[in-house]
Amino acid sequence: MAEAPTPRSDAPRRLKLLSANIQAGSSTRRYSDYATRSWSHVLPTGKRTALDAIAALAGRHDIVGLQEADPGSLRSGFTNQTHYLAERGGFEYWSHQPNRRVGAVASSANGLLSRLEPIEIINHALPGRIGGRGVLLSRFGEGDSGLTVAVAHLSLGAQSRRSQLAFIAEVMAHHPNAVLMGDFNCTSDCAEMDVLYRGTGLQPPACAVHTFPSWRPQRAIDHILVTRNLQCANMQALPAAFSDHLALSTELMVPASALQR
């Protein structure tokens, strides 16, 4: 009897990725809710139910990037939402990057949930006219060819976004196996995105997936961008509980060498 072939050590590994602006677990289902439900942005009522739904979604993935996760303030019941989602979603590894705090009432952070152990986590503050934005960068393999995953939440203004994208391009310039995901607050073909594409191996998405507003998606402003060395498939938008953004999910084929330690 012939022996079964030995699996190739360089065979690509498939990972499921999710990017989600969770709006700190708040509920927004129509534009009028920004005014009529403004209390939900400062009080913890109902957020545990939303977080449990987000955890169920996140738990079907291997690496999750979070935006607008509250790291512990009045509106979250002083719960670190990234940590809570890690526990409820069954993730062994998690990290968060607090960026903006409004007294003890509200705070916001980028977050990372992972089933793979990162070898390094780096937090960078992003430039901008108004402070409080950042990019959370994680590395999962040794050397420049290792897998790099970055999570960011960019500014509303085009000028600030341009400077932020230029900064991110400099940080990620020499990473051939890289992912940048998050809430960009702009479409992938906006003029300010050119500085990112020119300065890195990150590519525009093959198609636009509308994620905002969640109740009637008309704009593709949440993205999972990958370098040309990686293969991305099955990009789709999924509800992130009651957030005003849909989450973005994709399958990523990663060279085994990019995950070697």
Query: Residue 237 sits in which domain range?
Result: 15-259
Give 22-66 pLDDT, tens digit per residue. 998 887 766 555 554 544 555 556 689 999 999 999 999 999 999
End-to-end CA distance of the chain: 36
Could you give the CA distance from residue 110 to residue 127 in angstroms, rounded to a whole number? 16
194 in a structural domain? yes
Nearest alpha-carbon partner for 79 in 90, 88, 70, 91? 70
- pTM for this entry: 0.91
Give the pLDDT of residue 39. 44
Angle between the N-to-C axes of helices 81-89 and 47-58, in degrees from 0 to 180, rounded to the nearest 10: 50
Q: Residue 45 maps to which CATH number?
A: 3.60.10.10
Instruction: Spell out, as residue ranges, where the chain has pLDDT lower than 70.
Output: 1-10, 29-46, 100-106
Number of domains in the chain: 1
Are the C-beta atoms of residues 227 and 197 closer than 8 Å to each other?
no
pLDDT at residue 11 in the model: 82
Q: What pLDDT shows up at residue 1? A: 47
Residue 4 lies in a domain: no
Q: In the prediction, which pLDDT does 36 show?
A: 46
pLDDT confidence of residue 104 = 57
192: which residues sit within 8 A by CB, 6+ positions away? 158, 161, 162, 165, 186
